[in-house]
Chains A and B, each alone.
Chain A
């Protein structure tokens, strides 16, 4: 199974809402990532978990809170987002570090109203 799944596919939330994005992989990968991608731009790395520990946090605002409950699951908790946070949020996984081939999920299209 070389699939990374993400739920939900689409999410619309108000600026006062709290929501969570979920990501799952069963490839035995020990590194998982969250990326943010705006239209016609490249993905931007937000967080890296390696062996269930947060190893890279690219100066992301605290309204984004990652969580890695186990080696197969990755969550991104959202709270008090701004309209400029509307984007495609991509989850990926790889063997144990970013320099290995990364497998991407289909993404969650987030709209903040």
Chain B
């Protein structure tokens, strides 16, 4: 399998600070996605980056992808208490099948 893995597992920051989460995967991918999950609820899609893209922005989110290192990072700028959640990366394979989530990073933003 091509398990994505997040780093760190847990992160606590103050409101207004930036939060960076990293994801690594093992095999070639079609694209990589980031999702957010508030406690015990459904996941919300944040951003999708294709294998031929290196960086993507969406509001306060910035995602990078380095296919040579098989890694991605998610940066949340100017964090807010409402950003407190678990963040997962997820990858598919080159055929667009087999969707695998990484273990996730639990982010706590303290007011």
Contact = CB atoms under 8 A, between A and B. Distances in A.
Interface of A: 4, 33, 40-45, 48, 55-56, 88, 90, 92, 97-107, 109
B96 A97 contact: yes
Interface of B: 30-31, 33, 35, 40-45, 48, 88, 92, 96-104, 106
B104 A99 contact: no
A99 B95 CA distance: 9
23 contacts: A33-B99, A41-B103, A42-B101, A43-B88, A45-B98, A90-B42, A90-B43, A97-B97, A98-B98, A98-B99, A99-B92, A99-B99, A101-B33, A101-B45, A101-B48, A102-B35, A102-B99, A104-B43, A104-B44, A105-B42, A106-B42, A107-B41, A109-B40
A100 B14 CA distance: 33
Contacts of B42: 4, 90, 104-107
Contacts of A45: 98-100
Contacts of A101: 33, 45, 48
A75 B44 CA distance: 21
Given A42-B88, A56-B98, A103 B31 contact: no
A39 to B, nearest CB: 8
